[in-house]
Amino acid sequence: MSVRNLVFAAGLALGAVPAWAQDAAPPSAAVPAIAVPQVEDEGLSGSVTDDSAWRDLGVAIPAFATNRDQPTPANAQGTGALGVELGRVIFNDLRNNGLFRPAGPDALPRPGYAQITAPSWSTWQGRSAEMLVHGYVRAESDGRLTVGCYLYDVALQQQLVREGWVVPAAEWRRAAHKCADLVYSRLSGESPFFDSRIAYIAETGPKDKRVKRLAIMDSDGANHRFITNGQSTALTPRYSPDYAKIAYVSYLNGNARMYVYDIGSGNQTLITQSSNPTFAPRWSPDGRWILYSMAAAGNTDIYRVSASGGTPQRLTDGPGIDVGGSYSPDGSRIVFESDRSGEQQCYVMDANGSNQRRISHFGGRCATPEWSPRGDQIAFTHIAGDLRVAVMSPAGGSLRHLTNSWQDEAPTWAPNGRIVQFFRTARGSGESSIWQVDLTGRNERRLATPVGASDPAWGPVLP
Amino acid sequence: MRKTALVMTAVGALALAACAKKAPTELPPAPQATTPVTTSGPMPTPAPTGAVPGTQSHFAQAMAGRDTIYFDTDQFNIDSQDQAALQGQAQYLQQYPNARATIEGHADERGTREYNLALGERRANSAKNYLVSLGIGAERLTTVSYGKERPVALGSNEQAWSRNRRAVTVLLN
């Protein structure tokens, strides 16, 4: 699971082939320190990264080189072919997310191993590529892979950043995502997000007999896996912050109940003992608490319970439906929806349930609020005729729609708070699919999933 | 892992068995309706032959559509039409005092998933409370919400949505 991060020695001689990777160090801060813009204070808008100059950078990503083409469990054709795949994963990460103007291995010449640390500049100049990504892959005797990643400024003929990782062969894609994250972070100033996973609900069958299964996949759709078999309806999964568990709702016993599924063991537990339906599970940022909603005699309130079980604490107690809380990144506050005013609106309260106050006053309804991991925005479903995904400040100001379709709902944030995923339902057929859009609202795309898909839940960046 | 899968399979089968008992609620013709539907006229006292009294199939036939009540958008109040249907259900339940029932609450597709789960629960409880007010013991009635997950009308229009905003009483055999 863990990806070992290689720390570069400061005075490393660059002329040689990359032998540095043998100096493996224990895991450390995953990404080199870079100048990151300060998170805006709440109430301020303008945290949209459109029109930034970096968006137009041409980035060349040729195939990764290898010191010796040799067998690896990661690729039947050996490490040479794996180097091409590594480049493709990085290229697709950037291209599919509308980042930069990338060119991939299939459109570029392939550098040799020695050129990884000494690029052939003349090859890359005149290709409208301002930036060049080089990398290599090497199979180690223990079956693992060492992957190095270098970012160069072509005009300056200068290395901007480099990093290396040692990964189990089965997790070779993670090294490519780490490299894409390195490139993205260094060029945009934003936090990484590619090396992360998504839990969601896979949907098959006709509208009145739809089968809903819990499923997981990497942020780019790879390593897809169904977790439940579909015999009982599964809904609204959420990854625990450490990716060890998934909280979700299942009709396993005939009624909606919140379960926590342990990915390692395959066991699942019922956290709360109640004959009432429990749903809308949400983890606290530190993973110690689970928020959920429980309906009793038709009235729904929000509770929190220790992730290891115990006595739940009721956080809301008014008449009406209170549902779907989401913690602020520091865990001090919770945004949730309530129809206590007569219709769904968004409210904020302290983590202990005190200081409940309405924040949405812009007309229409406010549903499924999700606090950005950066803390500066809240994404939600705005219901005004159609259902659209929108963002607002934590104080309820600066409403902006990110989508405009018949029915888009249930936004979930990328770990860096710059992209939102949601699910879109088609009018008539009711077929659902997962989409994502960046905060400019311009780069919208559908995620490829094997079958219909809803309720995406994006987890944090892997260590 | 394997053990869990087995348990899930077994319980899943139970859940399937439970939903197979669901009432065939057909008032206006559904888009896929293959059998002609009789709309409810005066109360049919003698139930059709075949079904065993006190069972779900007997109940559904005897109710002739009045096993289901319908709601306006986002509403969960019991109007006069609902009252008439629930009175019919209460009469039946009084006639068969050993019968137990679950009330399934549903919402239309034009809302968010989790809110609709809560809304369906609210609707099922409205129906339950009314039956209790008519003298049916609360211990004989359970509720379940399916939110917007189990529509009966498949269109995306007001007519379909009005049929999906419902609470259906189903006898537990």
CB contact (8 A) between residue B152 and residue A208: yes
pLDDT of the residue at A126: 83
- Higher per-residue pLDDT: A402 or B21: A402
A93 with A158, same domain? yes
CATH number at residue A238: 2.120.10.30
Distance of CA A246 to the CA centre of its chain: 15
Residue A249 near residue A234, CB atoms below 8 Å: yes
Q: Which of residues 312-341 of A touch B (CB under 8 A)?
A: 321, 323-324, 337, 339
Q: Which fold has domain B55-112+125-173?
A: 60s Ribosomal Protein L30; Chain: A; (3.30.1330)
Q: Is residue A353 part of a domain?
A: yes
Beta-carbon separation of A229 and B9 below 8 A: yes
C-alpha torsion sign, points B14, B16, B17, B19 = positive
Q: Which residues of A touch B152 (CB under 8 A)?
A: 208
Which residue is closest to A338 within chain B, CA to CA?
B115
Name the residue with higher pLDDT: A433 or B38. Answer: A433
Domain span holding position A115: 4-32+45-188
Tokens representing residue B8 in the block: 């899930």
Domain boundary among A165, A188, A211: A188
Q: Report the C-alpha gap between A378 and A206 in whole angstroms.
A: 34
Contacts of A252 in chain B (CB under 8 A): 8, 11-12, 15
pLDDT of residue A185: 97
ipTM of the complex: 0.88
Q: Report the amino acid identity of residue A408.
A: D
Q: Which of A375-384, A415-424, B46-55, B84-93 has the lowest mean pLDDT?
A: B46-55
Distance from A387 to chain B by nearest Cα, in Å?
Answer: 8
Q: Which of A136, A160, A188 is the endpoint of a domain?
A: A188
Chain centre to alpha carbon of residue A352: 28
Same domain, A183 and A229: no
Give A213's strand partners.
A202
Chain B residues within 8 A of A339 when measuring between CB atoms = 74, 115
Specify which residues A361 forms β-bridges with.
none
Helix (H) or strand (E) holding A88: helix A79-96
pLDDT of residue B173: 76
How far is residue A5's CA from residue A19's CA, in Å, rounded to a whole number?
Answer: 15
Per-residue pLDDT tens over the stretch A262-273: 999 999 999 898
Q: Spell out the SS3 assignment of chain B.
A: CHHHHHHHHHHHHHHHHHHHCCCCCCCCCCCCCCCCCCCCCCCCCCCCCCCCCCCHHHHHHHHCCCCEEECCCCCCCCCHHHHHHHHHHHHHHHHCCCCEEEEEEECCCCCCHHHHHHHHHHHHHHHHHHHHHCCCCHHHEEEEEEECCCCCCCCCCHHHHHHHCEEEEEEEC
SS3 label, residue A174: helix
pLDDT value, residue A89 = 98
Buried b (16+ CB within 10 A) or exposed e, A78-98: bbbbbbbbbbbbbbbbbbbbb
> Rounded distance, CA A399 to CA A373, Å?
18
Domain-terminating residue out of A188, A205, A220: A188
The CA distance from A414 to the nearest CA of chain B, in Å, is: 21
Q: Which of A410, A454, A298, A238 is nearest to B117 (CA)?
A: A298
pLDDT tier at A174, thresholds 50, 70, 90: very high
A395 contacts A360 by C-beta, under 8 angstroms? no
Q: How confident is the model at residue B47 (pLDDT cuts 50, 70, 90)?
A: low
Residue of A279, A297, A323 with shortest CB distance to B125: A297
Average pLDDT taken over every residue of chain B: 81
Residues of A in contact with B115 (CB under 8 A): 321, 323-324, 337, 339, 344, 367
Q: Do residue A391 and residue A417 come from a single domain? A: yes
Question: Does the pLDDT at position B49 exceed 90?
Answer: no
Amino acid at B106: H
Tell me what the pLDDT averaged over chain A comes to. Answer: 90
Q: Which pTM was predicted?
A: 0.85
Task: Tell me the nearest-neighbour CA distance from B152 into chain A, angstroms.
Answer: 6
d(CA A309, CA A273): 9
User: Is the per-residue pLDDT at A419 higher than 90?
Assistant: yes
What is the band of A128 on the pLDDT scale with cuts at 50, 70, 90? confident
The residue written with tokens 């005092």 in the block is B97
The number of angstroms, rounded, from the C-alpha of A310 to the middle of its chain's C-alpha atoms is: 30
- Comparing A32-36, A123-127, A255-259, B38-42, the range with the smallest average pLDDT is A32-36
CA–CA separation, B41 and B27 (whole Å): 12
Q: What is the pLDDT of residues B90-136, one digit of tens each?
A: 999 999 999 999 999 999 999 999 999 999 999 999 999 999 999 99
